[in-house]
Amino acid sequence: MYCTNCGQYLPDDSRFCYDCGALQQPAATPRQVAPIQNQAHSGITCPRCHSTNVNVQVINQVQLQNVHHGCAWWLFVGWWWIPVKWIFFTVPALIIKLFKPKKQRIVNHMHSTAVCQNCGHNWRV
């Protein structure tokens, strides 16, 4: 027999659908019901091939961004520290500037992407 909700093939003695969990009405005589074509559980269809065999994936993109000094640092420290550093510590400042690693922070960008399992088409959700 077939599920009356999603059309999945089931053994004749099934009380619940293994795919969608719908309760199956017991029939007095075993009968075959034609499969029902409906949307997938996620309700997403492929725009290219109109298949409902679609998976949704979450993609996390990581980016590094340079960290800069804020306004308060420039008001209280930067306006006098930068000229003093270059006047009195020119050579050490050049060496530090060349070999000191940049301060960076990590920025995550997350978005969902749907992928059709039939044709391989993917798109943002």
Query: Residue 113's Cα: distance from chain center in Å?
Result: 6
Confidence (pLDDT) at 34: 44
Please name the residue ranges forming H helices in 17-78: 71-73
Q: Domain residue spans in the chain? A: 1-38, 39-67+103-125, 68-101
Residue 82 to residues 9, 32, 57, 87, 110: CA-CA distances in angstroms? 75, 84, 48, 9, 38
Distance CA 65, CA 14 (A): 57
pLDDT tens sequence across 41-95 = 457 888 888 888 888 888 787 887 777 888 898 899 888 888 887 788 787 878 8
What's this model's pTM, rounded to 2 decimal places? 0.34
Residue 109, both tokens: 């960008």
Confidence (pLDDT) at 37: 45
Please name the residue ranges forming H helices in the chain: 71-73, 79-88, 90-99
Distance CA 36, CA 45 (A): 16
CATH number of this structure's domain 39-67+103-125: 2.20.25
